[in-house]
Amino acid sequence: MGKGRQQQGRREAIASGAQLGLEFPIEAKLIAGVDEAGRGPLAGPVIAAAVILDPARPIEGLADSKALTSRRRDELEAVIRREALAWAVGRAEVEEIDTLNILQATLLAMQRAVAGLGVVPHYVLVDGNRCPELPCPAQAVVRGDQTVQAICAASILAKVARDREMVELDARYPGYGLAEHKGYGTGAHLEALRTHGPTAIHRRSFAPVRLALESHQSRLTK
């Protein structure tokens, strides 16, 4: 792409941001979108992703990862990894979630994702209403995964990475259905917790896991 078209793409990207009510300086050319996957589940890490899209190489079909099929997310993930100017994935482990709480662990995963970009973005747009501490200006965008392309891309990378990991963990911890529900508190998952007790990847700071552990231990002592 020629330099003129790249500059036009950057102007269009910034203009669309302005239409959404986002405020960042016109000289901010490296704009990263950040989102996470895995705040709600009872098991597994929380994973965040950061993506700097190339305005001269738009990616068709970007949307909130939750609104896409698994197959479409996989397809877009490959495109994002190939076409983005930079991308990175960060994580916080179960032990960190239990020690820090899920909010702080999520912000930590986001920090790690941005740090992994290899370049410091001029500005960061974060899905939600809280921003982690970063070495550059940042803005939280409520429902950003529905309105900001870079955040949509980050949501896809984060969810695909986490879903794949949960499938792998299902093989290590059979009997909990992790490959199906990805760690969320479904009825089948809660029943497995009560029957078998929590594993090393279950978040003991989450009330359903704590209660299931107590129920399981009570059964064993009877």
- Alpha-carbon distance 201 to 165, whole Å? 12
Instruction: Find out if CATH 3.30.420.10 is the number for domain 3-162.
Output: yes
Helix (H) or strand (E) holding 72: helix 70-83
Q: Is a pLDDT exceeding 90 seen at residue 183?
A: yes
- Using CB atoms within 10 Å of the CB of residue 215, give its burial: 0 to 12 exposed, 13 to 18 middle, 19+ buried: middle
So what's the pLDDT on residue 182? 98
pLDDT digits (tens, 9 = 90+) for 30-56: 999 999 999 999 999 999 999 999 989
So what's the pLDDT on residue 16? 41
Boundaries of every domain in the chain: 3-162, 171-221
**Residues ≥6 apart with Cβ < 8 Å to 88:** 49, 50, 113, 114, 115, 116, 117, 118
pTM score > 0.85 for this model?
A: yes
Q: Are 190 and 208 in contact (CB under 8 A)?
A: yes
Mean pLDDT of 86-107: 98
User: With bands split at pLDDT 50, 70 and 90, how would you rate the model's confidence at 107?
Assistant: very high
Q: Are 47 and 154 in contact (CB under 8 A)?
A: no
> Six-digit token pair at 144?
């950003």
> Six-digit token pair at 156?
């896809």
User: With bands split at pLDDT 50, 70 and 90, how would you rate the model's confidence at 86?
Assistant: very high
So what's the pLDDT on residue 118? 85
